[in-house]
């Protein structure tokens, strides 16, 4: 099978290719120094809660699945079957579990 050449594209200009290559090869003898940047201010450290003070609740939590692989696999299978995001499913499962634990 013969592949037809696309005749819409212009032919390559050897002079333009040579000029491009020559411009790419020209480099300054010494590199220009970068513009100085300001040093970043250190991050504000949240002070630790003192005795008797309440600690702020965490924004996220890590679940360690060691020993709970079956529960993890059930969540993964359910989220795939029902097309839930894993985050939403885990929060809903924890809400239902807490309701059951609290006897609601």
Report DSSP letters for 38-71, one per residue: PPPPPPPPPPPPPTTPPPPPPS------TT-HHH
Which residue's structure tokens are 């013969």?
A: 2
pLDDT tops 90 at residue 73: yes
Judge contact between 86 and 59, C-beta under 8 A: no
**Percent of the chain scored above 90 by pLDDT?**
27
Structure tokens at 83: 């097309």
Arithmetic mean of pLDDT, 70-76: 92
- Tens of pLDDT, residue by residue over 35-54, are 888 888 887 776 666 777 78
- Our count of domains for the chain comes to 1
Kindly state whether residue 98 falls inside one of the protein's structural domains: yes
Query: Domain limits at 92?
Result: 64-104
Arithmetic mean of pLDDT, 5-32: 78
For residue 34, the 8-state DSSP code is P
**Has this prediction a pTM greater than 0.75?**
no
Kindly state whether residue 31 falls inside one of the protein's structural domains: no
State how far Cα 15 lies from the chain centre.
45
């Amino acid at each position: 099978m013969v592949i037809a050449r696309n005749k819409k594209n212009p032919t390559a200009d050897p002079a333009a290719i040579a000029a491009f290559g020559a411009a790419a090869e020209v480099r300054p003898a010494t590199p220009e120094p970068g513009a100085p940047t300001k040093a970043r201010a250190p991050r504000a450290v949240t002070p630790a809660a003192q005795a008797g003070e309440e600690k702020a609740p965490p924004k996220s939590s890590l679940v360690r699945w060691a020993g709970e692989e079956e529960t993890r696999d059930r969540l993964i299978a359910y989220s795939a079957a029902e097309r839930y995001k894993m985050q939403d499913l885990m929060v809903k499962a924890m809400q239902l579990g807490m309701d059951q634990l609290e006897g609601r």
